[in-house]
A = this chain, B = another copy of it.
Amino acid sequence: MQAEILSTGDEVRTGAVVDTNAAFIAEALETIGITVNRHTCVGDDLDDIAAVLREIAGRSDMAVITGGLGPTADDRTAEAAARAAGVALEEMPVALEQIERFFHARGMAMSTTNRKQALMPQGALVLENTDGTAPGFRMTIGACRMVFLPGVPREMRPMLARHVVNAFTQPHRSDGMVHVVVVISTFGLPESVVGDKLKDITPPNGPLRVGLRVLFPEIHVRVYGQGERLETLAAQMRQLKEIICERLGKRVLSTDGRRLPEVLGGMLMERRATLAVAESCTGGLMAKQLTDVPGSSGFFLLSAVTYANEAKIAVLGVSPETLERYGAVDEATAHEMAEGARRRAGADYALSTTGIAGPDGGTAEKPVGTVCIGLATPEGTRTFRYVFPFGDRDLNRRLFAATAFDRLRQYLMGTLRVNGLTE
Contact = CB atoms under 8 A, between A and B. Distances in A.
A99 interface: no
A390 B84 CA distance: 34
Chain A binding site: helix, strand, loop or mixed by DSSP?
Answer: mixed
B297 A302 contact: no
A303 interface: yes
Nearest to A341: B315
Contacts of A306: 301-302
A286 B305 CA distance: 10
Nearest to A41: B39
A19 interface: yes
A421 to B, nearest CB: 32
Contacts of A274: 308
A113 interface: no
A73 interface: no
B291 A288 contact: no
A407 B142 CA distance: 55
A52, A153, A315: most-surrounded residue (chain B CB, <10 A): A315
A296 to B, nearest CB: 7
B37 A40 contact: no
A41 B22 CA distance: 10
A359 B48 contact: no
A86 interface: no
A1 interface: no
B42 A37 contact: yes
Interface in A265-316: 274, 276-277, 279, 283-288, 290-292, 296-297, 300-308, 310-311, 314-315
Contacts of A214: 11, 16
Interface stretch (A25-33, A178-186, A380-388): A25-33
A411 interface: no
A295 to B, nearest CB: 11
Copies in the assembly, this chain:
2
Contacts of A17: 23, 216
Contacts of A19: 18-19, 22-23, 39
Contact of A302 (B131, B315, B392): B315
Given A23-B15, A310-B346, A346-B314, A291 B300 contact: no
Contacts of A42: 37-38
Contacts of A392: 152, 154
Given A287-B284, A308-B300, A15 B11 contact: no
Contact of A307 (B15, B131, B215, B302): B302
A20 interface: yes
A306 B297 CA distance: 10
Nearest to A390: B154
A15 B18 CA distance: 13
A215 B280 CA distance: 28
A308 B297 contact: yes
Given A30-B14, A288-B288, A315-B304, A41 B38 contact: yes
A54 interface: no
B296 A302 contact: no
A265 to B, nearest CB: 12
Interface of A: 11-20, 22-30, 36-43, 48, 52, 131, 152-154, 213-216, 274, 276-277, 279, 283-288, 290-292, 296-297, 300-308, 310-311, 314-315, 344-346, 359, 391-394
14 contacts: A15-B27, A15-B29, A39-B39, A154-B359, A154-B393, A274-B308, A283-B288, A284-B286, A287-B287, A301-B306, A302-B311, A305-B305, A314-B345, A315-B315
